[in-house]
Amino acid sequence: MKAAILEQANKPLIIADVALGNLGPHEVRIRTAACGLCHSDLHYIDGTVAQPMPVVLGHEASGIVEEVGSHVTRFKVGDHVVGCLSVFCGTCSHCISGNLVECSNPEVKHAPGVARRITRDGVHVGQGFNLGAFAEEMLVHENAIVKIRDDMPLDRAALIGCGVLTGTGSVIRTAKVPPGSTVAVIGCGGVGLSAIMGAKMAGALRIIAIDVLPNKLELAKEFGATDVVNAKEVNPVEAVIEMTKGGVNYSFECIGGKATAEQAIRMTGTGGTTTLMGVMPGDMMIEFSGRDLFYRQKKILGCLMGSNQFPTDIPRLCDFYMQGALPLDKMISKRIKLSEINEGFDALKGGNVARSVITFDA
């Protein structure tokens, strides 16, 4: 089968033939239907985040079950599924308390470079995010996927596996935004647009979208933003504080940058909450005022994958889409072939797309 392999940071991905290993008792083999190009993949490609190489990246994926292991009872051949990098064991203290994203059981969530499911010419290739979805097939642990309804379009379902799950979850699960709140979202890519959708679903009264690209700000309005701020034209902190007469109740940073994280904290009003969910380099330090936390009772939250419980969250988000409540059709800027993946990431770096999606039947 064909896969896109990252052999070296800041170099194009190589399309090559790879093979999957034998099916384990708790594993599932999936024919990949679609996979979104996510900024998280880009962080590994450009070397912002270290990753053992060679590796098959890709994690925002959907597909159809081809084969199940001997101990697998929740899936059968032909099931439509969505993958999620929040692989969970279901038995550790994090899992049984409902914090699936915090599971770190190495028996199911292999550290980067540990998984031995993919080979190229007999040599092991890493399985990024325990999924390796930039490939025609995936071999994954059964707790890395969830069954979805058969009438859900698989290209849109793929988006829910990461960007939509993260953005909506950051609002609903992590920050727990109540109706009537004021919200600011910094960064209007796939995750930011999803946070805007989540804020709208939560009943936020005012949703302020912040970006430097006019096309993304226009798209943000279609996803539910009530106001937009172009951070190239004005100081976004000053603009938000003036618009809200003191700052928003909730701010969300969706980029993973030092400057934008600090802006998110500063534009949050007294008693408000800042949620940081952009992927940040491990050595990045964020500066903020201790007086803000003490005297103004601001709160800063970290958010991994929307604090999701994806076995229930993803099917529900599919239902929301089918009912017309999630405008995912507008999020797909372009459908591409696996062979066009490098051009797709160039477009993502240029800020020209919300999401490009690889469709494997194209």
pLDDT at residue 261, as a whole number: 97
Q: For the chain, what is the HEC assignment?
A: CEEEEECCCCCCCEEEECEECCCCCCEEEEEEEEEECCHHHHHHHCCCCCCCCCEECCCEEEEEEEEECCCCCCCCCCCEEEECCCCCCCCCHHHHCCCHHHCCCCCCCCCCCCCCCEEECCEEEEEHHHCCCCECEEEEEHHHEEECCCCCCHHHHHHHHHHHHHHHHHHHHHCCCCCCCEEEEECCCHHHHHHHHHHHHHCCCEEEEEECCHHHHHHHHHHCCCEEEECCCCCHHHHHHHHHCCCEEEEEECCCCHHHHHHHHHCEEEEEEEEECCCCCCCCCCCCCHHHHHHCCCEEEECCHHHCCHHHHHHHHHHHHHCCCCCHHHHEEEEECHHHHHHHHHHHHCCCCCEEEEECCC
Residues 155-197: pLDDT tens digits? Answer: 999 999 999 999 999 999 999 999 999 999 999 999 999 999 9
pLDDT at residue 95, as a whole number: 97
Q: Where along the chain do the CATH 3.90.180.10 domains lie? A: 2-162+307-359
How far is Cα of residue 78 from the mean position of the Cα atoms in its chain?
A: 25
pLDDT at residue 48, as a whole number: 84
Residues 240-291: pLDDT tens digits? Answer: 999 999 999 999 999 999 999 999 999 999 999 999 999 887 788 999 988 8
pLDDT > 70 in the chain, percent? 100
How many C-beta atoms lie closer than 10 Å to residue 83's C-beta? 31
Whole-model pTM: value is 0.94
Peptide linkage before 315 cis (omega within 30 of 0): no
CATH class, domain 2-162+307-359, is alpha beta
Q: Which residues are known catalytic residues?
A: 38, 40, 43, 59, 162
pLDDT at residue 293, as a whole number: 87
CATH topology assigned to domain 176-302:
Rossmann fold (3.40.50)
Selected residue with higher pLDDT from 295 and 210: 210
Residue 334, CA distances (Å) to 192, 217, 243, 270 in order? 18, 18, 34, 41
Residues 214-234: pLDDT tens digits? Answer: 999 999 999 999 999 999 999
Q: CB-hemisphere CA count at 13 Å for 102?
A: 13
pLDDT at residue 353, as a whole number: 82
Q: Where along the chain do the CATH 3.40.50.720 domains lie? A: 176-302
Q: Reply yes or no on whether the pLDDT at 362 is more than 60.
A: no
pLDDT at residue 281, as a whole number: 78
pLDDT band at 50 (very low <50, low <70, confident <90, very high): confident
Angle (deg, nearest 10), helices 214-223 and 190-202: 30
